[in-house]
């Protein structure tokens, strides 16, 4: 019962002209075999940087993992060299990015791109590689794969391109796939199709998936567990069921309020959370959400809230759950 992936107190800094940004500040979570975990938060919360750290893609300089561990299949991969990581990335960990066009080489046939990593990692004949590429295109639902493998990326629509990117990620039969906003660049109908595809592949191949998104709709659709990040930290985590039914952190409440309600029709506007995240050059010493939180108390600015455990892996870091804090209904009654 060892986790496939365990992130422990990960810290990542970036050097800039303005000083050092603490982009990821002590993030911990895990992913088990056959499980989809969503990392959710606004842009700049550190979710993409966390994904890049797992894949060994933090550009150093200016970025650097300055603390913590990334344990994949029992091995800490946070300190591995680019070369050592290459053996894991692509073969054990596949990646799917937001914009399929940047992930694809416009000058290379898609079939060649799909099996590139596969050919590199195992001894196969040309014909075997070709069959593999056809099989992968079929797996991701691209019609007419025998013809399509010899085409170039520009001959595919946006949604079909993202399917190709998924085929590339899966060609080496990885155990973990990391998908960073995989549907954000696509229109709504195609988005739903790609999510369905990821869901089907995840179940059929017993894959573990980490999906990075700002969209709670995507989380509800595809994930088993979720990790809510804010200002480089995890503020709440739990099963998707528990967190949606009973969110425990005021930031998560804000995210939930910004979910469009289907029953109110498409016209319903999102309710954004007032204010902006804190400066991560000099992060606040207390709760990072304090400046935007309707429930902030004196202690919130002074001291970092501890994690509170609500059972079944549901945790939230907020002073409201301290036994000494006023009850939430009293705060609401007092006009908060």
Under the rule (CB under 5 A), what is the footprint of Mg ion? 48
Does 141 bind ligand SF4 (CB under 6 A)? Our answer is no
Residues within window 17-76 making contact with ligand SF4, judged by CB under 6 A: none
Q: Which is nearer to ligand SF4, 89 or 321 (CB)?
A: 321
Write 87-90 long-range contacts (CB < 8 A, 24+): 88/56, 89/55, 89/56, 90/117, 90/121, 90/172, 90/174
Q: How far is the CB of 228 from ligand SF4 (least distance, A)?
A: 11
Give strand ranges (E) for the chain: 5-16, 19-31, 36-40, 63-72, 75-76, 93-96, 176-180, 208-213, 225-230, 233-239, 307-309, 315-317
What, of Mg ion, ligand SF4, none, does residue 14 touch, CB below 5 to 8 Å by kind?
Answer: none
* Contact between 305 and ligand SF4 per CB under 6 A: yes
- Which residues, 6+ apart, have CB-to-CB distance to 226 below 8 Å? 37, 38, 39, 40, 219, 237, 238, 239, 240, 243
318 binds, among Mg ion, ligand SF4, none (CB under 5 to 8 A by kind): ligand SF4
- Shortest gap between Cβ of 324 and ligand SF4 (angstroms)? 13
CA distances from 235 to 27, 156, 232, 242, 271 (A): 10, 40, 9, 15, 20
Indicate whether 318 belongs to the interface with ligand SF4 (CB under 6 A). yes
Cα separation, 326 vs 269, in Å, equals: 32
Contact with ligand SF4 (CB under 6 A) among 296, 308, 314, 315: 296
- The yes or no reply on residue 230 touching ligand SF4 (CB under 6 A) is no
Is residue 289 close enough to count as binding ligand SF4 by CB under 6 A? yes
290 binds, among Mg ion, ligand SF4, none (CB under 5 to 8 A by kind): ligand SF4
Judged by CB, which is closer to ligand SF4: 27, or 88?
A: 27
Largest interatomic CA distance in the chain: 73
- What's the closest the beta carbon of residue 130 comes to ligand SF4, in angstroms? 55
* Site track for ligand SF4 across 245-284, x = CB under 6 A: ----xx----------------------------------
Burial class (CB in 10 A: 0-12, 13-18, 19+), 203: exposed
**Phi and psi dihedrals of 179, rounded to 5?**
-120, 115
Its sign, for the CA torsion 151, 155, 160, 166, is: positive
Q: Which residue of 295, 308, 314, 315 would you call a contact of ligand SF4, by CB under 6 A?
A: 295
Q: Which of ligand SF4, Mg ion, none binds 182 (CB below 5-8 Å, type-dependent)?
A: none
Footprint of ligand SF4 (CB under 6 A): 249-250, 287, 289-290, 293, 295-297, 300, 305, 318-320
């Amino acid at each position: 019962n060892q986790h496939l992936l365990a992130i422990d107190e990960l810290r990542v800094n970036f050097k800039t002209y303005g000083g050092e940004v603490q982009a990821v500040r002590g993030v911990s979570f895990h992913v088990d075999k056959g499980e989809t975990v969503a990392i959710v938060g606004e842009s700049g919360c550190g979710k993409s940087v966390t994904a890049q750290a797992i894949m060994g893609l933090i550009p150093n300089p200016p970025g650097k993992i300055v603390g913590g561990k990334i344990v994949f299949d029992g091995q800490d991969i946070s300190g591995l060299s680019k070369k050592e990581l290459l053996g894991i990335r692509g073969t054990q960990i596949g990646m799917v990015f937001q914009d399929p066009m940047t992930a694809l080489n416009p000058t290379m046939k898609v079939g060649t791109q799909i099996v590139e990593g596969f050919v590199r990692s195992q001894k196969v004949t040309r014909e075997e590689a070709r069959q593999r590429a056809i099989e992968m295109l079929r797996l991701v639902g691209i019609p007419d794969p025998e013809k399509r493998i010899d085409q170039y990326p520009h001959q595919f629509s946006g949604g079909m391109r993202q399917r190709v990117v998924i085929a590339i990620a899966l060609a080496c039969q990885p155990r973990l796939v990391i998908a960073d906003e995989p549907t954000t660049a696509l229109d709504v109908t195609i988005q739903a199709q790609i999510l369905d595809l990821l869901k089907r592949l995840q179940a059929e191949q017993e894959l573990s998936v980490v999906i990075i998104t700002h969209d709670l709709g995507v989380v509800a659709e595809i994930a088993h567990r979720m990790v809510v990040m804010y200002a480089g930290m995890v503020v709440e985590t739990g099963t998707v069921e528990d967190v949606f039914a009973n969110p425990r952190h005021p930031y998560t409440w804000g995210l939930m309020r910004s979910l469009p309600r289907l029953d109110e029709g498409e016209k319903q506007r999102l309710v954004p959370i007032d204010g902006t995240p804190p400066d991560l050059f000099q992060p606040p010493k207390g709760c990072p959400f304090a400046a935007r939180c309707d429930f902030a108390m004196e202690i919130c600015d002074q001291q970092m809230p501890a994690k509170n455990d609500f059972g079944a892996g549901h945790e939230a870091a907020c002073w409201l759950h301290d036994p000494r804090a006023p009850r939430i209904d009293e705060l609401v009654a007092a006009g908060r």
